[in-house]
């Protein structure tokens, strides 16, 4: 996996159990949380710990990570898509010691290190259902997204003059100090200033169009590039397409969660695609060339070997799901279909075959006619007359 693998970050082996991973994570998160650890680089270390746990604690993400390797998985999550998660915003499980941090610092994690200044925009999440063809081959789609954008009247400043001033309530710190008591003694609790929302600055003259918020609701059209190989649960990251941030702060990101619809002919097995083809008993006995349609609509020839058995899987290399490195394969399951209608010539051949094998046909089988089902149809017609 490499020196910076998620297993190395948490200090566990690749075969570690879920319990071992969770125990290691809690210990490291408690040690390196920026509200507790003041060492240089503690915040970055904490982010890496959280990122590692968010992947290894999820069975699906962990399997994808183990299969792809650290570098490929990391580049995918930072680039076009990630295996069911994203780095924006912590979503890890801090249960068991979150109450300790809240007692010390207030407002849960990060409450004690709230800093004045413009806040980045929030990330957005939307679900998208695509076909198996689109998942296997990749595609582009346009989607409409409701989001928060900067007010065009004040350019997102919240002020008619497009200028802001220092918050008179907090003096520009963006925080209010509160004393709280606990069993450990008195602690100073820092909370965001209610007047400026923790920004430290307020509009010089409130914008009438947005009421001083600097934002408005709007709908944007986003072109989403869906790379080949995505699967249900994966998320695509659209950087900068989330909600607008405060004046001077970057916007959030948009995450597209993929859901792949079932296909009438193909079933996905990882990077492989499975389908079926019907052949006759003669084709099964003697072998044959059969035409099979691929996921992209092409027709390829499948060589069925002599003596193939019912439900046997035959592989066509490279005709599965396209991936970053190499495509998967197509597995074609053979279904031997017995005809229910025979011509006189076919019946004679089957009777001759039974004779060679030393068997006798049933009374109906030996009867010369159009076939059992056609006989039923003819009898119904006679009854109607």
154 labeled binding residue: yes
Closest CA to 334 of 292, 297, 295: 292
C-alpha angle 125/240/90, rounded to 5°?
50
Angular region, 361: left φ>0, alpha ψ -120 to 50, beta rest: beta
C-alpha angle 269/275/278, rounded to 5°?
155
Convert 326-359 to b/e letters by CB count within 10 Å (16 or more is b).
ebbbbbbebebeeeeebeeeebeebeeeeeeeee
Phi, psi (degrees; rounded to nearest 5) at 128:
-135, 130
* Helix, strand, coil percentages for the chain (3-state, nearest 5): 30, 25, 45
Task: Return d(Cα 292, Cα 266) in angstroms, integer.
Answer: 12
37 labeled binding residue: no
DSSP state of 309: P
Across-strand partners of 150?
Answer: 215
Task: Return d(Cα 266, Cα 269) in angstroms, integer.
Answer: 10
Expressed in angstroms, the distance from the first to the final Cα of the chain is 78
Annotated binding site for Zn(2+): 151, 154, 167, 170, 193, 196, 207, 210
Annotated binding site: 151, 154, 167, 170, 193, 196, 207, 210
């Amino acid at each position: 996996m490499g020196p910076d693998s998620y297993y190395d970050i948490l200090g566990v082996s690749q075969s570690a159990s879920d319990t071992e991973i969770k125990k290691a994570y809690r210990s490291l998160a408690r040690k390196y949380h920026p509200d507790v650890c003041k060492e240089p680089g503690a915040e970055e270390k904490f982010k890496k710990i959280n990122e590692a746990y968010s992947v290894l604690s999820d069975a699906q993400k962990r399997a994808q990570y183990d299969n792809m390797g650290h570098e490929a998985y990391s580049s995918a999550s930072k680039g076009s898509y990630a295996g069911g998660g994203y780095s924006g915003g912590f979503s890890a499980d801090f249960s068991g010691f979150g109450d300790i941090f809240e007692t010390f610092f207030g407002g849960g994690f990060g409450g004690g290190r709230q800093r004045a200044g413009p806040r980045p925009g929030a990330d957005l999440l939307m679900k998208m259902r695509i076909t198996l063809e689109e998942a296997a081959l990749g595609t582009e789609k346009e989607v409409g997204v409701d989001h928060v954008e900067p007010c065009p009247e004040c350019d997102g400043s919240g002020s008619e003059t497009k200028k802001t001033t220092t918050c008179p309530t907090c003096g520009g710190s963006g925080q209010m100090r509160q004393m709280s008591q606990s069993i450990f003694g008195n602690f100073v609790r820092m909370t965001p200033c209610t007047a400026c929302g923790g920004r430290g600055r307020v509009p010089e003259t409130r914008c009438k169009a947005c009421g001083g918020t600097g934002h408005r609701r709007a709908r944007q059209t986003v072109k989403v590039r869906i790379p080949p190989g995505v699967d249900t649960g994966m998320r695509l990251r659209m950087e900068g397409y989330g909600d607008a941030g405060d004046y001077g702060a970057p916007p959030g990101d948009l995450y597209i969660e993929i859901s792949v619809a079932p296909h009438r002919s193909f079933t996905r097995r990882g990077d492989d695609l499975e389908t079926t083809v019907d052949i006759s008993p003669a084709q099964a006995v003697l072998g044959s060339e059969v035409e099979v349609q691929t996921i992209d609509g092409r027709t390829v020839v499948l060589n069925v070997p002599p003596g193939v058995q019912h439900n046997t899987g035959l592989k066509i290399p490279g005709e599965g799901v396209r991936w970053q490195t190499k495509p998967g394969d197509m597995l074609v399951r053979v279904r031997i279909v017995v005809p229910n209608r025979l011509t006189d010539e076919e019946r004679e051949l089957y009777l001759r075959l039974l004779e060679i094998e030393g068997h006798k046909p049933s009374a109906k089988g030996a009867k010369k006619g159009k076939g059992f089902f056609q006989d039923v149809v003819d009898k119904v017609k006679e009854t109607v007359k």
